[in-house]
Amino acid sequence: MAAATRGCPPLGSLLRLLGLLSAATASWDLASLRCNLGSFCECDFRPDLPGLECDLAQHLAGQHLAKALVVKSLKAFVHDPSPTKPLVLSLHGWTGTGKSYVSSLLAHYLFQGGLRSPHVHHFSPIIHFPHPSNIDRYKKDLKNWVQGNLTACGRSLFLFDEMDKLPPGLMEVLRPFLGPSWVVYGTNYRKAIFIFISNTGGEQINQVALEAWRSRRDREEISLQELEPAVSRAVLDNPHHGFWHSGIVEERLLDAVVPFLPLQRHHVRHCVLNELAQLGLEPRDEVVQAVLDSTTYFPEDEQLFSSNGCKTVASRIAFFL
């Protein structure tokens, strides 16, 4: 079935997608996921951008900038038959604001196999790079992994989670793959997609959102121009971030810095209603209210933003049912 016929599902399941994402992290084996280089490699890149746009519109609460940037970047990249460089997106924001959810949706709507596709590669610092003392081996393995999989299939998606927990210096091996060159190490890599995810910059994003609220500005009036410099500076000043001294930010290899705004009470309510619908349950006012009341908010005086975004909504619903 063609990807374009998949359409927008009745409701995207955050837990299901994130569960698959977690399962995928355990599958980094240099022999198992790579296509057999001696045989034909059938890439399952089947982009369904209308479906992605529909799902984001229905289920991603409070993120007008992230929605617009992701969709615009993907449309331009996918519709270009000969891109000059891979698509490189860096997702930033407070916990529970939707970064991992968006990355899961990208895999789902770009590849027929979704997160189970052999061409979707997810890296977690805890699983794949747990010991900083092994940095030299990690560099060699990561370079070989990316190069080998791009040789097998140029249409590959690489997801790097928790960038603020990666060993310093690791990401510098990716720099040759991210720039505007035709080939690198004999590999055509211009049609690949790299997604980097981190909480770095979240405090700066929160501060801009708070100041906008205090000034009685509409949330949707917050622009990328207000956020991008502060986020980029937070990354460059953080010695624990994976981009530290990698040259990736300095050489402007990121196509977009995608900020995720902190979620307010009505956004959490949206997540609660989505989760109840996914469970096949009618919205019960007492359950919705209990989840909202049990959620902690900040700053202390305004009690405006959810401390965990929508991250704990599913478990809280289960508790109050």
283: domain range?
A: 265-320
Any known ligand binding at 100?
yes
Confidence at residue 1, expressed as pLDDT on a 0 to 100 scale: 37
Is residue 26's pLDDT more than 50?
Answer: no
Q: What single-letter DSSP state applies at residue 265? A: H
Distance (Å, rounded) from C-alpha 296 to C-alpha 309? Answer: 9
| 30 pLDDT more than 90 | no
Q: What is the pLDDT of residue 168?
A: 85
Q: Could you tell me if residue 29 is inside a domain? A: no
Same domain (yes/no): 225, 123:
yes
Is 103 annotated for ligand binding? no
Q: Is 84 annotated as a binding residue?
A: no
173 and 116 within one domain: yes
Each residue's pLDDT tens digit, 168-193: 899 999 999 998 875 676 677 899 99
**Shared-domain flag, residues 183 and 291:** no
CATH (domain of 217) = 3.40.50.300
Q: Rounded to an integer, what distance in angstroms lies between the CA atom of residue 307 and that of residue 301?
A: 14
5 is in an annotated binding site: no
Same domain membership, residue 145 and residue 114:
yes
Question: What values do phi and psi take at 94, rounded to 5?
Answer: -65, 160
pLDDT at 13: 45
For residue range 254-271, list pLDDT tens digits in order. Answer: 999 999 999 999 999 999
For 70-84, write each residue's pLDDT tens digit: 999 999 999 998 899
Q: What is the pTM assigned to this prediction?
A: 0.86
Contact present, 167 and 135 (Cβ < 8 Å): yes
The model's confidence at residue 9, banded by pLDDT at 50, 70 and 90, is low
Q: Is 99 annotated as a binding residue?
A: yes
Assess if residue 181 is contained within a domain: yes
**Distance (Å, whole) CA 224 – CA 63:** 12
169 is an annotated ligand-binding site residue? no
Q: Do residue 313 and residue 202 come from a single domain?
A: no
Find out whether 309 and 269 touch, Cβ atoms under 8 Å.
no
Where is pLDDT greater, at 210 or 41?
210
Average pLDDT over residues 145-149: 93
- One domain for residues 280 and 204: no
- Spatial separation of the C-alpha atoms in residues 221 and 111, rounded to whole Å: 33
Min mean pLDDT across 29-43, 119-133, 299-313 is at 29-43
Q: Are 51 and 12 in contact (CB under 8 A)?
A: no
Tokens of 53: 């746009």
Total domains in the chain come to 2
Same domain, 232 and 95: yes
The beta strand positions in 199-288, using DSSP E, are 256-260
